[in-house]
Amino acid sequence: MKPLNFEILKSFFSVLFICAASGVYAQKTYPEPEEMQPGMSEFWLPQPTVVTPGDIRTNSAPSDAIVLFDGKDLSAWENAETKGAAGWIVNRDGTFTVDKKHGNIQTKQSFENFQLHIEWCVPVHITGEGQARGNGGVFLQGKYEVQILDSYVNETYSNGQAGSIYKQSRPLVNAMRKPGEWNVFDIIYTAPVFKEDGTYRIPPHVTVLHNGIVVQNNTTITGTTEYIGFPRIERHGAGPVVLQSHGDPSDPVSFRNIWIREL
């Protein structure tokens, strides 16, 4: 219950205000909310966890990230089919390259909601065109593909370019660097929530920055990535990050500096 005195006081001032400021007698007046103090909207708990950011020039991993590749080995990864060794090629310069003899690779660990940083590159002298030129992909929870492709002066369908949600959502702009230069994806992913019947209560969402430029802005993902036909909706839980081995000689994509933070 509001204390009576306060109400009386407020009505008193309201009447005063009406008389003094407007001179309108018939106008309806309503109480104003009671005056607050600054401290009433200051909440101390929970205190945000302290995280040390990575290097500003190299985008190295923050202190709370799970490092998925630090230049040395593929111990965080496995073959997506056999669950054996990843088998892709770790290079001397702290990068690794897809090996078409081995198929897709995936993280050993599964994830729900996350921020993923991944850098990738196609060779200076890459050949091929359209989809046959640096084709790869990052599958979120193993289901939803953020497309990797050399989209630099290379025509293809818009929803198949680098930074697209493959065959669903074209990138807002083409932010591709030249062959031989490193591209960066920063991916903020929100996992779907399912209804009892296996359909989405809340579909997955994703924001993608390609080389620091927003190319997907909280995009709703409508279902699994399908090469043919409509996206499908199928129930799933936590899932790995999968890197696609496209298998073409024209697709020698390399990677470096991969880290992920659970959100």
The answer to the question of residue 56 lying near a second copy (CB under 8 A) is: yes
Of positions 6, 12, 13, 17, contacts a second copy by CB under 8 A: 6
Of positions 66, 67, 89, 214, contacts a second copy by CB under 8 A: 214
The answer to the question of residue 62 lying near a second copy (CB under 8 A) is: yes
The answer to the question of residue 201 lying near a second copy (CB under 8 A) is: yes
145: β partners: 139
The answer to the question of residue 209 lying near a second copy (CB under 8 A) is: yes
Quick one: 65 or 98, whose CB is closer to a second copy? Answer: 65
Q: Which of 46, 63, 45 is nearest to 54 (CA)?
A: 63
**How many angstroms separate the first and last alpha carbons of the chain?**
41
Site for a second copy in 145-174 (CB under 8 A): 155-161, 167, 170-174
Quick one: 25 or 30, whose CB is closer to a second copy? Answer: 30
The answer to the question of residue 117 lying near a second copy (CB under 8 A) is: yes
Say if residues 241 and 104 touch (Cβ distance below 8 Å).
no
Quick one: 65 or 86, whose CB is closer to a second copy? Answer: 65
Say if residues 58 and 74 touch (Cβ distance below 8 Å).
no
Site for a second copy in 68-97 (CB under 8 A): none
The answer to the question of residue 26 lying near a second copy (CB under 8 A) is: no
Site for a second copy in 34-53 (CB under 8 A): 34-51, 53
Say if residues 61 and 88 touch (Cβ distance below 8 Å).
no
The answer to the question of residue 237 lying near a second copy (CB under 8 A) is: no
Of positions 16, 19, 24, 263, contacts a second copy by CB under 8 A: 263
In whole angstroms, give the CA distance from residue 206 to residue 78. 25
| Residue pointed to by tokens 């062959």 | 179
CA-CA distances (angstroms) from residue 131 to 79, 96, 117, 171?
24, 22, 24, 15
The answer to the question of residue 59 lying near a second copy (CB under 8 A) is: yes
Of positions 103, 142, 179, 203, contacts a second copy by CB under 8 A: 203
**3-state DSSP assignment of residue 90:** strand
The answer to the question of residue 227 lying near a second copy (CB under 8 A) is: yes
Of positions 20, 25, 27, 58, contacts a second copy by CB under 8 A: 58
In whole angstroms, give the CA distance from residue 15 to residue 147. 66
137: β partners: 147
Say if residues 119 and 258 touch (Cβ distance below 8 Å).
yes
Quick one: 84 or 155, whose CB is closer to a second copy? Answer: 155
Q: Which of 143, 141, 206 is nearest to 171 (CA)?
A: 206
Quick one: 25 or 227, whose CB is closer to a second copy? Answer: 227
> What would you report as the CA-atom Rg of the chain, rounded to the nearest whole angstrom?
27
The nearest distance, CB 84 to a second copy, in angstroms, is 28
Of positions 84, 229, 237, 249, contacts a second copy by CB under 8 A: 229
